[in-house]
Amino acid sequence: MFETQIIHTEHKDVIHDVAYDYYGQRMATCSSDQYVKVWDQNEQGVWSVTSSWKSHSGSVWRLSWAHPEFGQVLATSSFDRTVSVWEETVGEKTNPAMPPLKRWVRRTNLVDSRTSVTDVKFAPKSQGLMLAACSADGVIRIYEAPDIMNLSQWTLSHEISVKIPLSCLTWNPSMFRLHPAMIAAGSDDSSQSTGGKVFIFEYSENARRWAKTETINSITEPVHDIAFAPNVGRSYHILAVASKDVQIFNLKPILDPTANSRLEIQPAAQFGDHYCTVWRVTWNITGTMLASTGDDGCVRMWKMNYLKNWRCAAVLKAENSESAPETSVTASLKSSIEYVLRVQRGPCPENSWRILRRYNDFASLNKCLQISGIDLSFPGKKLIGNMRPDFVAERLNALQEYINQVLMNPILASSLPTKKFIDPDSYSTPFHDLALQYASMSLRTEGVYTLGQSLGPIGWRLRKHYFKVVHKPQGNKHSPGHSTTKHHLIKSSSQSHGKQHTTQVCVTTSTEKDYNSSTRDHSGRDDLILSWTEFGPDRYIDEKDIHTVLKNFGGVAHPYIVPIEHIASNDTGALVIRKFYKQGSLKDVLCSASPCNPFLSKYGSPKGRTPLPLKDLALYARQILEAIRFLHSKGMACGHVHCGNVIVVDGIAKLMDVENFIFGVPSFYRPFFVQHSKINTCEAIDVYGFGHLLYEMCMGYPLQDSYARQISDCPDSLKSLLESILSKDACKSSLPTLDQLTTHPFFSEYAGHFNELYATTIAVQKPHLKFSTSAKEQLKLAVQKTENRVRDEQRSVKNQKRLVRVQEMMTSEEEKKKIKQKAKHEQKQAKLRAQNSLQLNNGPPMTGPSGMAATVHLSSSTGGIVKSDSANSITSPQEALMSPPPHATDSGGSTSPQPPPSAPPIPGPPSSLPLFPVPADSGASGGASASGKLAKSISGDESTTGNRSALLQSICNFNKSGLKKISPTDEGGK
């Protein structure tokens, strides 16, 4: 039985790695808070922090312990592109009653990597004091300490280059002397879906270099961790890989020197029990048991039996509960219910996946979304009887309704907790940490600004982050590292928007009130805000030209566009510095919200929505329209027109974030306009966004659909303007142009003097935006490619809608066919019942071979037996519903088929009444054949009744299947 214990690490951000020393008595943790903590375990098994220090200027990804023969040595790798080697020193014992003072000292800092160092591992003791590190630039660097007594001296002995970024590596700890040194490395590069992601390298003693011997091509998913099993006697190696699943491979050396490969790779096992991304794999000291952990919050133990079959030996699940910090270990999850979510992104069914979630996962999501203030119908927790099938079915429906409510709300659906809940693989990256690092390094090279505190998740984009920034004081010389520490660079947790804001409040002494009240820094300048944005899928400007384009665009000047203080970029994204406006955006004004509050709390359920007066609405709309026209006149589109990108200052509306088109990020209204194939140009997209802007300024709340079904509560001229953009007919046909909008009667009615005002304004502040010739060509090409991508996506959506309609039509045709067949069957049944009803009322009952009367159950719309309209009629009303006559049964209860009825006889000489053929009654004739029996004609009512009965019997018992089908060619023949 395993025992689990929750340890409160007091790290202020996400923990990336945990490593035990050789004996398992010490533990080290590293985090995005840039700190490393060392833990010791006492005799009672309680872990406590013995050392904690800030190790890097960026997130610390991995750490590794050296063999204790070399002392207490740690190695750490970080996003700041460095590897640090730390050694624990023991001071002199000043007080006999106290333990000696211990502290960790940085012995060296290895700075050879050009990008983030993603993993670091010490070599096995048999290789000496060697260190291997891999980085995102696709290079494995191997360092060696010539003198183990002097850890400040390390030499770069080897470099192994791989074409794709690397995420993890492992040394082969085999102690067999004939096995050469071996390293395996994995890549988490998701941009390439083909080719292997695991590489095996061996060291050649003769050539004295490392060479790649094998690539595991079967692994195409991103690899997050990799580990060789300790080898204490096997002739082959075992390698575990953490990717989408847990995979185990046997690597058998090939001794034939003429063979093309050095290793025979055999898949040993693959487990998808985590049903999510697997992040870590590690072996025990004998290499007989493997542990893995993933996003499901479980640690799963895998063990190989004597038949070399791997199986799950145990599952450890730690519940985060204050009252019960310990949890038991079970061998399976049979005592809990897991729900499978099938998720599809976009119109294509191929882009779908499934994830496994438990009720606690839903509860955690609901807790994160409560900051929005939106009332969601989340089912409550039940402790007793929660495994009953009826309760599970009821909870399943309730959770389905809950997740539908979340995903149908655009604010909740775009939040980071929701994204991570439904797509953990794509949103597990620490976006905020990356933005912090890139922004810090960019400002450090400029030397003009100092990065301040993070403003938290105040925007809707997950890959756009905001920071306070100030000018550096004049005359003070600070190193980049010192300046960062001087101004207390604060960052928030990147795991969820709700937690991020809470963490920020806990760790910083500045508050929103302090930030808003301090509108100027010490030098008298306005407060500035920095936004870091990652490039999006529509960035079509070449990397070598984007710096020129941004430099030209940084000088934009227009009375209705917010000016840019500073703009810079790298190969990942760009930062923009602007003046901070304490009143917030136009959306903040409409929602009466503070700009520094989290996005979910600001717009999820605002306390009050205030529409604008018509004159202000017309003036602001006209000003924004002129800003958009100015951009299009310079060959550039906006593509991001909404209330969140509008600032109102002294009665003047100004458009901001217009550089988003250059960054290639998706538009806020993209899910809407891809549904309408006529909105396929950049101008039409800006007109469509302008329509949504008008609607929100008029109504006070945003339009939650791709078109307006009904527009009311506004003047006729404004209604006409909105319908020309947002009505269903307008979206299906074509939208007005920007020039046509400026001449709409609404603006002449409520903003009649705008043209004179605008002419006066541009005479004082002349608009300016000048691009170089190459920049113009790049912008023109970007516009074309953006429009082509929109059209392609619109065609995909249209084809998917057509496919859905065809499926619905096929389904409806099948339903119609079933209904038609059912009606035909009921009509046939009605005819048979009508015939039986007449027989029951007018003739003798049918008897079986035993002489017993056959019972016929009748039902009709009148509830009784329906008689004929006249004594001479053999028809019955159509409303009567009849049952077919039952088969006669013998005494033994078996079904006995009746003989086929005889053919109608040749008509005899006419008489007063016709003759009717009737089938022979087997009970009366003693089993004689019915083919030659005829009933005599009798006069009066009895004769009429008997004849009618005989005719009905003949009709009911006539066998149509006995008739022979005659083709036209047989008519004159036989």
Find the CATH number of the domain harbouring 224.
2.130.10.10
Give CA–CA dist 22/70, Å, rounded.
Answer: 12
> Which letter does DSSP use for residue 561 in this model?
B
Q: For residue 447, is it left (φ>0), alpha (ψ between -120 and 50) or beta?
A: left
Q: How many CB atoms lie within 10 A of CB 8?
A: 7
Which range among 11-25, 80-94, 344-358, 430-444 shows the weakest confidence by mean pLDDT?
A: 344-358
Task: Write the CA distances from 179 to 160, 226, 232, 282, integer angstroms.
Answer: 20, 19, 12, 21
Provide the pLDDT confidence category of residue 432 given band limits of 50, 70 and 90.
confident
User: What Cα–Cα distance (Å) separates residue 970 from each residue in 963, 967, 973?
Assistant: 15, 6, 5
From CA 779, how far away is CA 602, in angstroms rounded?
35
pLDDT at 479: 41
Using CA atoms, how far apart are residues 878 and 898, in angstroms rounded to an integer?
28
- In the block, tokens 């019955």 appear at 876
**Which residues lie across from 574 on neighbouring strands?**
533, 569
Q: What is the pLDDT of residue 318?
A: 62
Which helix (H) or strand (E) element contains residue 956?
Answer: helix 940-957
35 and 82 fall within a common domain? yes
Res. 948 pLDDT band, cuts 50 70 90:
low
Pair 751, 515: CB distance under 8 Å: no
- Judged against a pLDDT cut of 80, whether residue 176 lies above it is answered with no
Burial label for 898, CB within 10 Å (0-12, 13-18, 19+), is middle
pLDDT bracket for residue 148 (50, 70, 90) = confident
Question: Which of 117, 150, 174 corresponds to the end of one domain?
Answer: 117
Average pLDDT over residues 763-782: 90
Residue 215 half-sphere exposure, CB side, CA atoms within 13 Å? 11
Phi-psi category of residue 54: left, alpha or beta, with phi > 0 → left and psi -120 to 50 → alpha = beta
pLDDT for position 543: 81
Same domain as 392, residue 310: no
pLDDT tens digits for 345-358? 777 777 788 888 88
Other Cβ atoms within 10 Å of 318 Cβ, number: 15
Segment 323-345 mean pLDDT: 55
Say yes or no to pLDDT of 632 above 90.
Answer: yes
CA distances in angstroms from 205 to 128, 209, 215, listed in the order given = 15, 7, 21
Is residue 961 domain-resident?
no
pLDDT digits (tens, 9 = 90+) for 33-55: 899 999 998 888 888 899 999 99
**CA 909 – CA 186 distance, rounded (Å):** 104
Return the structure tokens found at 477.
């010389």
* CA 682/CA 577 separation, integer angstroms: 26
Tokens standing for 720? 């006409």
Q: Given this model, what pLDDT does residue 813 score? A: 65
Separation of CA 14 from chain center: 21
Q: Considering its fold, how many domains does the chain have in total?
A: 4
Distance (Å, rounded) from C-alpha 254 to C-alpha 248? 19
H helical segments located in 851-939: 922-925
Structural domain includes residue 479: no
What is the structure's pLDDT at 927? 38
Q: Which of 117, 152, 187 is the last residue of a domain?
A: 117
> Do 208 and 300 lie in a common domain?
yes
List, in sequence order, the alpha helices (H) in 14-84.
none
pLDDT band at 1; cut points 50, 70, 90: low
What DSSP element (H or E) covers 512? helix 512-517
DSSP string for 266-295: EEEEEE-TT-S-EEEEEE-TTSSEEEEEET
> Rounded distance, CA 476 to CA 693, Å?
46
Are residues 289 and 248 located together in one domain of the fold?
A: yes
422 and 563 assigned to the same domain: no
Beta-ladder partners of 310: 304
Same structural domain, 700 and 557: yes
pLDDT at 90: 85
Strands 652-655 and 60-65: unpaired
Edge-to-edge order in the sheet of strand 237-242: 225-228, 237-242, 246-253, 263-271
* Maximum Cα interatomic distance, the chain, rounded to a whole number of Å: 143
Most confident of 189-193, 687-691, 931-935: 687-691
Query: Which of the given ranges, 258-262, 310-314, 558-562, has the highest pLDDT on average?
Result: 558-562
Residue 12 is classified by DSSP as: S
For the stretch 897-925, pLDDT in tens is 444 444 444 444 443 333 333 333 333 33
314, 345: one domain = no
Query: Are residue 170 and residue 113 in the same domain, yes or no?
Result: no
Encode pLDDT of 548-581 as tens digits. Answer: 899 999 999 999 999 999 999 988 899 999 999 9
> For residues 676 and 787, what is the distance between their CA atoms, to the nearest angstrom?
13
* 152-161, 739-748, 906-915, 964-973: the lowest-pLDDT one: 906-915
Residue 838 has pLDDT above 70, yes or no: no
| Residue 595 covered by a domain | yes
How confident is the model at residue 3, as a pLDDT?
67
pLDDT of the residue at 825: 79
- 403: its two tokens: 């997740």
The token pair at 631 is: 């951009």
Would you call 71 exposed, middle or buried from its count of C-beta atoms within 10 A (0-12, 13-18, 19+)?
middle
From the list 489, 790, 823, 513, the residue with the least C-alpha distance to 637 is 790
Same domain assignment for residues 91 and 185: no
pLDDT at residue 17, as a whole number: 92
Is residue 232 in some structural domain? yes
At residue 740 the predicted structure's pLDDT band, cuts being 50, 70 and 90, is: very high
**930 or 720: whose pLDDT is higher?**
720
Range from 267-276, 458-467, 481-490, 700-709 carrying the lowest mean pLDDT: 481-490
Q: What is the mean pLDDT of residues 177-202?
A: 84
Share of the chain above pLDDT 90, in %: 35
Q: Which of 141-155, 579-593, 924-938 has the lowest mean pLDDT?
A: 924-938
Q: How far is CA 195 from CA 221, 290, 945, in A?
A: 10, 26, 90
pLDDT-based confidence at residue 169 (cuts at 50, 70, 90):
very high
Residues 348 and 309 in one domain: no
Q: Is residue 719 part of a domain?
A: yes
* Closest alpha carbon to 195 in 229, 165, 168: 165
Mean residue pLDDT of the chain comes to 78
Q: Do 254 and 220 reside in the same domain of the chain?
A: yes
Of 167-181, 399-413, 469-483, the one with minimum mean pLDDT is 469-483
> Which residue intervals of 592-737 are DSSP H helices?
599-603, 614-633, 660-663, 670-673, 682-699, 716-726, 728-732
403: domain CATH number is: 3.30.1520.10
Last residue of a domain, one of 427, 447, 464: 427
Q: Are 295 and 424 in contact (CB under 8 A)?
A: yes
Is 289 part of a structural domain of the chain?
yes
Give the model's pLDDT for residue 534. 92
For residue 124, being part of any structural domain is answered with no
Domain enclosing residue 287, as ranges: 162-320
Is 686 within the bounds of a domain? yes
Mean pLDDT of 725-742: 92
Of 959 and 829, the one with more pLDDT: 829
Same domain, yes or no, for 605 and 691?
Answer: yes
> Which CATH number does the domain housing residue 739 bear?
1.10.510.10
Q: Which residue type occupies 549?
A: V
Question: Token digits for 260?
Answer: 């093309």
